[in-house]
Amino acid sequence: GENVEQHPSTLSVQEGDSAVIKCTYSDSASNYFPWYKQELGKGPQLIIDIRSNVGEKKDQRIAVTLNKTAKHFSLHITETQPEDSAVYFCAAMNSGGYQKVTFGIGTKLQVIP
């Protein structure tokens, strides 16, 4: 089955700096890669996603890149703000199957004001 590894497990950055979280996946059939943000006491919230026919996608301060050959994808947050502090999860899915999603272990991001 699919295996998703996520690094780092914790990340502290100064407000205004950039944050990068990296994930690798094992199943070459995976073709959909969402990123979720989870704040304390809440459910995961979809913040951005990318499909395997695209190499990069950007939404304001958030961007995701995908390298299918190397089987890795990354989340980039620029101009970080204290409200970006949360746990971020990457995930991989094979949409051609039954949409079974495999999550990374999560990255706790702390933005220091």
Binding site for another protein (CB under 8 A): 32, 34, 36, 42-46, 49, 51, 89, 93, 95, 97-106
Instruction: Give the per-residue SS3 of the chain.
Output: CCCEEEECCEEEEECCCCEEEEEEECCCCCCEEEEEEECCCCCCEEEEEEECCCCEEEECCEEEEEECCCCEEEEEECCCCHHHCEEEEEEEECCCCCCCEEECCCEEEEEEC
Give min distance, CB of 107 to another protein, in A.
11
Nearest to another protein of 58, 100 (CB atom)? 100
Nearest to another protein of 105, 112 (CB atom)? 105
Nearest to another protein of 78, 108 (CB atom)? 108
